[in-house]
Amino acid sequence: MTPSASILLVDDDRHLAESMAQWLRELSHQVETVATLAEAKASLAKRPFDLVMTDLRLGGEDGFDLIGYAKKKHPDVAVLVITGYATPETAVEAVRAGAYDLLTKPLIDDELTLAIERAISQREITRQNEDLRQQLDRRSGLENVLSHDYRMLKIFDVVDSIADARASVLITGENGTGKSMIARAIHARSMRRSGPFVEVACGALPDTLLESELFGHVAGAYTGANTDRAGKFQLADGGTLFLDEIATATPAMQVKLLRVLQEFKFEQLGGVETHSVDTRVILATNENLDKAVEDGRFRQDLYYRVNVVNIVLPSLRERIGDLPLLVDHFLREAAETCGRDVECFNVEAIQAMQSYAWPGNIRQLENVVERAVLLGRGPVLTVDDLPPELTGKGVEPGLATTSSGNRAVSLGDVNGKTLREALEGPERQIILQSLRSNGWNRAATAETLDINRTTLYKKMKRLGLDDPRLQFA
């Protein structure tokens, strides 16, 4: 049975149009008739239709114009062409223009009924596929960014808010915090998701090669450049370009980046032709760009250009309540990949991981879990399956001990860190162990550590120990 549909019938033969409309209404369709292209556009603007049925000759107007208009302005509407002047070439041209099908006059009732049914069914399938694709896009954007932490939930809201903006986005955070994943999430949730996502690690290339990589080159630009080559800005046209480690760009490269981010125009290396692109740029760095500007290592005007929207990713130690969730995810992935029958980590192992400072953040956690799965001997992994830097066993240099003297605290890698940054890890471990030994009684913990409660509260917030889920880990 033909499903009921709302149909816009466009034909300059009023008598024929009304006769056909009456027959369609008897089949339970809702039909509106118009005679000109202007009337058809006005009707489409007023209300949605499931199907447009149009002649190709509308007085002095061309039905192909209506097909093109409907495809561009109302892509959800199926278009069925009905004409008395058709050739095989006309049919091909109509379908290429966006029509679903073409029927020739005089019409056969069953043929028209079947064409309407097929057009409506195909339109519904297309709509369902689009709904599914949008659902997958929404899920794919952030499905791999696992977190229940309030800091990350706020970042998820920001990602949704800025996804379709043209403005540059600067993602900052320590190494291993997931800057690339957030950049991909922004792209996947934007209108550009069907376009390319191109990633460039700026710190991995010398300046000359980086310029060629970003802007492309013409043949003969340098030794070995035998042919023209498109750069990443061109390859990302219509999509997103992710520039990682942007703070490593030299002053000369910063000048060129400033121009392309302002005008989205550039010349290839060795070329004179100016190219224009429609590329959304997301940048990332693990450095403090404010300090880099103060030190003269990063241009202030470029900093203001790239820092339109700044997403600051918290370190793993600041969202340590997410650790059990992340561990479970990485454990399942590693067990499947390695073909191991592993169920979980025991409570002591989880507590040991939560006590650690994680200088390498989520990337380091993933590696630790994979190592434990590979080397573990049973279905339940224990502290013995963790590397020495987490447990303090067999680690000699860079150790401190708590006031109890019975638990080793690793200072980790202190190279390039300020004194405060280097002490964050041991300080966090000491406070967490004291909180646990005092049953999370903050007053008793402050007394044990010989500090006042206000100082303890501030330290807990700064070190990510204010997450209530830590009490139940």
CB 469 within 8 A of CB 320: no
**Block residue for tokens 């019409």:** 107
Asked which of 141-145, 180-184, 241-245, 276-280 is least confident by mean pLDDT, the reply is: 141-145
At 86, the pLDDT band (50, 70, 90 cuts) reads: low
Degrees (nearest 5) of the Cα angle 150, 352, 368?
85
Can you give the pLDDT at residue 468? 66
Can you give the pLDDT at residue 407? 45
Long-range CB pairs of 392-401 (<8 Å, 24+ gap) are: 400/426
Rg (CA), the chain: 32
| Rounded Cα distance, 126 and 117, in Å | 14
CA distances from 169 to 315, 340, 347, 468 (A): 19, 40, 39, 32
Bridge partners of 418?
none
Can you give the pLDDT at residue 198? 93
Evaluate if residue 423 carries a pLDDT over 50.
Answer: yes
pTM exceeds cut of 0.85: no
Ramachandran region of residue 175, left (φ > 0), alpha (ψ -120 to 50) or beta? beta
Q: For 342-363, what is the mean pLDDT?
A: 89
Bridge partners of 280?
240
CB 373 within 8 A of CB 338: yes
CB 50 within 8 A of CB 57: no
In DSSP notation, 120-142 reads HHHHHHHHHHHHHHHHHHHHHHH
The domains located in the chain, with CATH, are 6-133 (3.40.50.2300), 146-312 (3.40.50.300), 316-472 (1.10.8.60)
Evaluate if residue 241 carries a pLDDT over 90.
Answer: yes
Exposure class string for 41-52: b at 16+ Cβ within 10 A, else e: bebbeeeebbbb
Can you give the pLDDT at residue 321? 85
Task: Name the residue type at position 373.
Answer: V
Higher-pLDDT residue of 401 and 58 is: 58
**Which residues contact residue 415 at a Cβ distance below 8 angstroms, ignoring those fewer than 6 apart?**
none
In DSSP notation, 199-237 reads EEEGGGS-HHHHHHHHHEE-TTSSTT--S-EE-HHHHTT
pLDDT tens by residue, 151-201: 888 998 899 889 888 888 999 999 889 899 899 999 988 888 889 999 998
Higher-pLDDT residue of 131 and 364 is: 364
| Rounded Cα distance, 435 and 353, in Å | 16
Exposure class string for 382-417: b at 16+ Cβ within 10 A, else e: bbebbbebbbbeebeeeebeeeeeeebbbbbeeeee
* Two tokens, residue 188: 């996947």
Evaluate if residue 16 carries a pLDDT over 80.
Answer: yes
Evaluate if residue 411 carries a pLDDT over 70.
Answer: no
Can you give the pLDDT at residue 267? 86
In terms of average pLDDT, the best of 3-7, 17-21, 219-223, 414-418 is 17-21
| Rounded Cα distance, 237 and 280, in Å | 8
| Rounded Cα distance, 28 and 230, in Å | 56
Q: For 114-135, what is the mean pLDDT?
A: 73
Evaluate if residue 414 carries a pLDDT over 60.
Answer: no
CB 205 within 8 A of CB 298: no
Exposure of 119 in the CB half-sphere (CA atoms within 13 A): 28
**Block residue for tokens 């209300």:** 47
At 134, the pLDDT band (50, 70, 90 cuts) reads: low
Asked which of 37-46, 87-96, 441-450 is least confident by mean pLDDT, the reply is: 87-96
Asked which of 204-213, 253-262, 337-346 is least confident by mean pLDDT, the reply is: 204-213
Evaluate if residue 312 carries a pLDDT over 90.
Answer: yes
**Which residues contact residue 424 at a Cβ distance below 8 angstroms, ignoring those fewer than 6 apart?**
317, 357, 463
